[in-house]
Structure 1
Amino acid sequence: MCRVRAGVLLVVLGITACSPAPPEPAAEPTTESVADFLARTLPEGPGGTVIAARGDQILYCEGFGMADREERIPASCDTAYDIMSITKQFTAAAILRLEAMGELRVTDPISTYLGPVPDDKRDITVHHLLTHTAGLVEGLGDDYDVMSRDAMLTQALSSELRSRPGEEFHYSNVGYSMLAAIVETASGIGYERFLERHLFAPAGMTSTGYVLPEWDRGQVAVEYDAQGRSQGRPYDHPWAEDGPHWNLRGNGGMVSTARDMFRWHRALTGGTVLPESARAELFAPHAPIPELGESYAYGWVVRDTEDGRIAWHDGGNGWSLANYAMAPDDGAMAFWVSNHAHRDDAWNLEDLEPDLTLGILDRARTQ
């Protein structure tokens, strides 16, 4: 399997050896509708949701297949899914929101917020965590291992660095969990509570979070493995009372809907949650990704094209798969998510991911 665990960069980012090259923008504008493109692109079998939008206008938002096969609940625009590593952009935005509030600076060493750190990690800054250049390991165990914040920090700070801080790009879920801990220290409130108060509520997002939304169980998609067996809903796995344990918190596991992801897009591009200077920082190409020829921004991967900058991030956990892409300059966005990423000897959405993502985004930009 291409991914190592939930929260790594998947095929679109080209980090793993078995991944195809990243997609190229369409050479010419297309007149094909999103619906027609999906009808000829998506295989029969998986369930999921697709949304395409430009500016304040939703161009397409529909479900496909089943969100819950046992209960015969079809997927819709309002089905909630685990969006996995797309969570990282919320964590990054929370850090920049705190910077705008004067509560921290991305140039601060992590010891400012996490206390004394070992000598080899004294030079790690908040910026290094945001850009995966701290040199930290990718993970500390399974997503659903029981782990407290203090235990996560202890293990992260005692782990051996893969490279010196600031020298190399090494994708690290641990780094984003550490950022979630910094959000809590700098704000004085819980990670999810800060996101809800300062990002989600201003954006009008009512169906995004870990435990704060009042989930109707039928709204949340069931995930399925390669044999088609149910793996339950995200919160059916071991979680703490206030959300996932700290191997996952901050780097993944957030639950959201396509409609809320559109609201998030509108809030980002409209300046509702971040001032212009912070938005520029969020999408700036901070750290080159040598394997790809693109750059990591803050919670996004970015690429400059003749038609402007494209920002994206994907996520996967072995069962589900998602991708969120946007063109910050012209306000187009595409988000798709499936609760069944692949089926043995039948289909694999990882193989379709680059073309599917850019195909939806191209149509959002030209229609």
Structure 2
Amino acid sequence: MRRWLVVGLLLVSACGVEVEEEVVATPRAVGPLGPPMASSGSLVTAVGGEIVACEGWGGGDCDTVYDIGSVTKQFTAAAIVELQSMGRLDVRDRIGRHLDGVPPDMRSITIQQLLTHTSGLVGSLGDDYEPLSRDDLLREAFASDLRSAPGTRYLYSNVGYTLLAAIIESASGEGYEQFLARHLFEPAEMTRTGYVLPDWESADVAVEYDARGRAHGTPLDHPWAEDGPYWNLRGNGGILSTARDMFRWSRALDGDELRELFRPRVREGAHADTWYGYGWVVLDSPVGRVQWHNGGNGLSYAEVTRTPAEDAFVFWVTNRSRGPGWNLERNGLTNALVSRLASLAPQPPL
């Protein structure tokens, strides 16, 4: 399996090199916006809890900090599972046990329905950087119309995961990021993951670029509250991390409590071959069960994949997901990697 993952790494790295032929590489960000047309990325692969390779392209490396988008959701889900193990909540709780002001049509929504995107809540309520406070977000969420009756349909909802962040605060008595840092990141020795608590060096945070190569600054250059992003983003996206820290997270995921994240619970569509767990997508493939999630904001993009049967882990991220001739969100490099691994697997004897 180790040889297959190295080949997979070369496959993904080759895609990165192909992208770099269109752009000017740079060693980390320079100034508040960085040089024009710069893009970078990093990737880590591991087998058996040990790194096989951890490399970067375009000036990125294993310690370059990127926005990992909706990969954030697995941290939110893990915090909920941790709070359940502490006896602070139960995923079967209705959300009104932890949040005030829930309207009648939403009172049957449970924490588990938020985790599995079956609450019926809208996908989003506006721009990631709209200055909404926690109370503003809750008020707008509870004033919105449900898209389906709670528990009847899978509908991906960033709003649902933001409500989970608010529940984490209510149940723990701590801020969302503070709880994650103390109960998830510190035990895993993840010193370069979070919103504002890590001691960031601005030059270590990747500048983000759009499809035309225009710099949009780092995530920290956008409007945020003093304690992190505003509440359209908090809990559902926007956490910053590195390839090396995501490897450390992969080892933490082997704990008994966090196995709850990977149980397939809701099919992602009537005829889908994928299931949603808690902050993770689960699917069966030629190399066995695959646990996967992605995240992107139209600029940066990340994917994380685990194959438990082979005890393998892959994470990759880039600060420019689109450009002339490529769209990394649509092309799905991880799918190509998994397919490649399957094709390289030894065939049983006839």
113-122 or 352-361: bigger deviation: 352-361
Moved more, 351-360 or 175-184: 351-360
Deviation at 1:55, TM superposition (A): 2.1
Question: Is residue 60 from structure 1 mapped to residue 57 from structure 2 by the alignment?
Answer: no
The equivalent residue for 2:33 is none
Corresponding residue to 2:171 among 181, 186, 189: 186
Cα offsets for 1:222-259 (capped at 9, x unmatched): 00011101000001101000000000000000000000
Superposed CA offset, 1:189-219 (max 9, x none): 0000000000000011000000000001111
**What pairs with 1:205-244 in structure 2 (closer than 5 Å)?**
205-244=190-229
> Secondary structure of 1:202's match?
coil
Instruction: Point out 4+ residue stretches in structure 1 off by more than 6 angstroms.
Output: none
Q: Quick check: 47-56 or 259-268, which moved more? A: 47-56
Deviation, 1:281, is 1.9
Greater shift in the superposed pair: 30-39 or 254-263? 30-39
**Secondary structure of 1:189's aligned partner:** coil
After TM superposition, list the pairs within 5 Å mapping 1:113-262 onto structure 2: 113-262=98-247
Contact 1:287 1:295 in 2 (8 A): yes
Quick one: which of 244, 254, 259 aligns to 1:280? 259
**What letter matches 2:52 in structure 1?**
L
SS at 2:282 equivalent: strand
Cα pair distance change 1:282/1:289, threshold 3 Å:
same
SS in 2 for 1:33: helix
Does the 8 A contact of 2:6 with 2:53 survive in 1? no
Q: Where do 1:102-121 residues align within 5 Å?
A: 102-121=87-106
Residue 216 of structure 1 aligns with an amino acid whose one-letter code is E
Structure 2 gap ranges (5+): 21-38
1:317 to 294, 297, 301: 297
Aligned residue type for 2:177: E
Q: Secondary structure at the match of 1:325?
A: strand
Aligned to 1:84: 69
SS of the equivalent of 1:243 reads coil
1:340 maps onto 2:320 in alignment: yes
* Runs of 5+ consecutive residues of structure 1 not aligned to the other structure: 1-25, 66-73
Alpha-carbon distance between aligned partners in 1 of 2:56 and 2:339, rounded to the nearest angstrom: 14
- How has the CA–CA distance of structure 1 residues 219 and 137 changed in structure 2, closer, same or farther, with 3 Å as cutoff? same
Aligned residue identity for 2:231 = W
Rounded to whole Å, the distance in 2 between the matches of 1:121 and 1:262 is 38
CA root-mean-square deviation:
2.2
Whole-angstrom distance in 2 between the partners of 1:98 and 1:191 = 12
TM-score (norm 1): 0.84
Residue 92 of structure 1: CA displacement?
0.1
Matched position secondary structure for 2:19: coil
Distance 2:273 2:49 in 1: 32
Measure, in 2, the Cα distance between the counterparts of 1:81 and 1:310: 24
SS for the counterpart of 2:236 is coil
2:172 alignment partner AA: S
More displaced stretch, 350-359 vs 286-295:
350-359
Distance of 1:199 and 1:245 partners within structure 2:
22
* In 2: Cα distance, 1:327 partner to 1:172 partner: 26
Q: Provide the C-alpha distance between the structure 2 equivalents of 1:187 and 1:39, rounded to a whole number of angstroms.
A: 41
Q: Does 1:295 align with 2:275?
A: yes
| Cα distance in structure 2, aligned partners of 1:31 and 1:300 | 21
The 8 Å contact of residues 336 and 357 in structure 1, kept in 2 or not, is answered as no
Aligned mates of 2:138, 2:5 — CA distance in 1: 51
Q: 1:329 to 1:97 in 2, by over 3 A?
A: farther
Distance (whole Å) between structure 2 residues aligned to residue 257 and residue 94 of structure 1: 20
Q: CA deviation at 1:136?
A: 0.2
Q: Which residue does 1:36 correspond to in 2?
A: 10
Q: Is the 8 A contact 2:8 2:341 kept in 1?
A: no
CA contact (8 A) 1:333 1:361 kept: no
TM-score by length of 2: 0.87
